Amino acid sequence: MKSTFYSLLLLCPGFLFAQEIDQEALAKIRKEGLDNSKVKEIAHHLTDISGPRLTNSPGFQRAAEWSVSELKKWGLQNSRIEDWGEFGKGWQVEKSYLAMTKPYYMPIIGIPKAWTSGTSGPISGEVAIVDIQNEEDLKKYTEGTLTGKIVLTKGAADTDPNFKADATRYTTEDLEKMTNSAPFGQGNFTAEQMERIRTMRSFRTKVDSTLKTQKIKLELAGRTGRHGTFFTSNGASYKGDSPLAGPAFEIAPEHAGLIARLIESGIPVMLEAESATTFYDKKLTTGNVIAEIPGSDPKLKDEIIMLGGHLDSWHSATGATDNAAGCTVMLEAIRILQTAGLKPKRTIRIALWSGEEQGLHGSRNYVKNTFGDPQTMKLLPAHEKLSAYYNIDNGTGRIRGIYLQGNEGPRPIFEKWLASFSDIIDHPTITSRNTGGTDHQSFDALGLPGFQFIQDGIEYGTRTHHTNMDTYERLVMDDLKQMATVVAAFVYNTAQMDQKIPRKELPKPRPANSVGR
């Protein structure tokens, strides 16, 4: 009924007239965001100075504390790190060295897998290849077969030349296809695809467990990627009660291929390595960065607009595009609103999430603690107070439009807002499609309006997302300026509306494993 009510209101000229854009405020936002931007400074602190930001690691804590400090300087209220519950162990690399010493010397591009133990000093040895693709392959390696060896688990990396550009922007044709496409499943994955993903993860865990019981010296895992860029992951569980995993490196596919070809040609390969890692298990709970610009309207100040992105990253680089970019944009958007002296009617709340990379933990638990439980659909009073949540987490690429997540109610509102930026948004696009894999899903799962912006891909899928090359240099500063300006306007416009952003019908309760990335 609520969705129908909002739809009828949107057809009413009086409703749309009430949503006229404050042009004076928009001019202030544009000037501050495009002419006086601080995205370089913010991004520098979150990446270069904070370093890798695995949840509960020192790097994450540095970034979170700096963000809270800046938000306080800008005059936001209730700036804090708000605990949401138990995450698990923090972890970081203290030392990492890996090289082939025979048949000749060659430094190997690699990094210890997250949440694995160190080597307890320098080690060396001959490499053995293990090819485990299924359960039958596991049976080949009986107890003692691999004891004391350095083991390379072969990957299936595609290292052929790529004749497509690493960096891309959406074409008009791409965006038109997106505009005309229908909504599809939660997180863009079908139930069958999710089951395959879970099976793959389970099998990988079983392989790691098998190698550990074999008491190997070191595992080397060839990863996907090209030209020295490789995609990284975790090598063990971060849970507080999980057993420690043995030492393991992920390495660039070219170097995995080199080692494999030499061995398959009958040429022994010797390696030397040393890794030192630290687990942080004294405090297993963690939190999100939260701060607010209080609303100024006596009747509307209890209602909330939220914006956010995830602050945590993987460990092989400094997490620039995933997702210091999104946090930079959201911090800058808040700074723009404060510096411009705007007084929003509703309260604006920023959130920088933890634990996103391990399953949206920070945003899911925040939503559960604040708004209600998607597994039971038991809603808390604050559920009615949220107007919308806006998210950035698709890299450094500029905003080209917005995903509606199947919620058609806001379409005419967003069309009007995007049109006011037609000079810096080429072919502004609104699609009914869902997009998955990030924190707006936590809100959408509870029937709250949660939106991710459409962004140009740039190098996200080829060079930066979860890779060893996700560094400050991969950020496109002009794109970050554009994003922050657009987001600031969306947030402010939402705060000034006579009504809240229209909602979809409430979803039905869902099992825990269906609310997935």
Do 385 and 289 share a structural domain? Answer: yes
pLDDT for 184 equals 53
pLDDT for 488 equals 98
Do 51 and 111 share a structural domain? Answer: no
pLDDT for 17 equals 38
Q: Is residue 4 part of a domain?
A: no
Do 123 and 153 share a structural domain? Answer: yes
Do 346 and 239 share a structural domain? Answer: no
Question: Dihedral, CA atoms, 477, 479, 484, 486, nearest 10 degrees?
Answer: 160
pLDDT for 7 equals 45
- Per the structure, the count of domains in the chain is 2
pLDDT for 516 equals 46
pLDDT for 192 equals 65
pLDDT for 234 equals 78
Do residues 37 and 50 lie in contact, with contact meaning Cβ atoms separated by under 8 Å? no
Q: Is residue 297 part of a domain?
A: yes
pLDDT for 13 equals 38
Domain boundary among 227, 257, 280: 280
Q: Is residue 159 part of a domain?
A: yes
Beta bridge partners of 129: 152
- Point out the residues of the chain with pLDDT beneath 70: 1-18, 142-143, 156, 182-198, 200-201, 512-517
**Which residue's structure tokens are 């912006």?**
453
Domain boundary among 250, 280, 310: 280
Euclidean distance between CA atoms 403 and 407, whole angstroms: 9
Do 251 and 133 share a structural domain? Answer: yes
Do 211 and 131 share a structural domain? Answer: yes
Do 223 and 137 share a structural domain? Answer: yes
The parent domain of residue 164 ranges over 90-280
Do 306 and 388 share a structural domain? Answer: yes
CATH number at residue 362: 3.40.630.10
Q: Which residues contact 405 (CB under 8 A, 6 or more apart)?
A: 183, 433, 434, 435, 440, 444, 450, 451, 452, 504
Q: Is residue 415 part of a domain?
A: no
Q: Is residue 392 part of a domain?
A: yes
pLDDT for 15 equals 44
Do 159 and 74 share a structural domain? Answer: no
Eight-class DSSP state of 442: H
CATH number at residue 126: 3.50.30.30
Do 320 and 197 share a structural domain? Answer: no
Euclidean distance between CA atoms 182 and 97, whole angstroms: 49
Helix ranges (H only) for 140-273 are 172-179, 191-213, 253-264
Do 65 and 146 share a structural domain? Answer: no
Domain boundary among 240, 260, 280: 280
Q: Is residue 101 part of a domain?
A: yes
Do 370 and 358 share a structural domain? Answer: yes
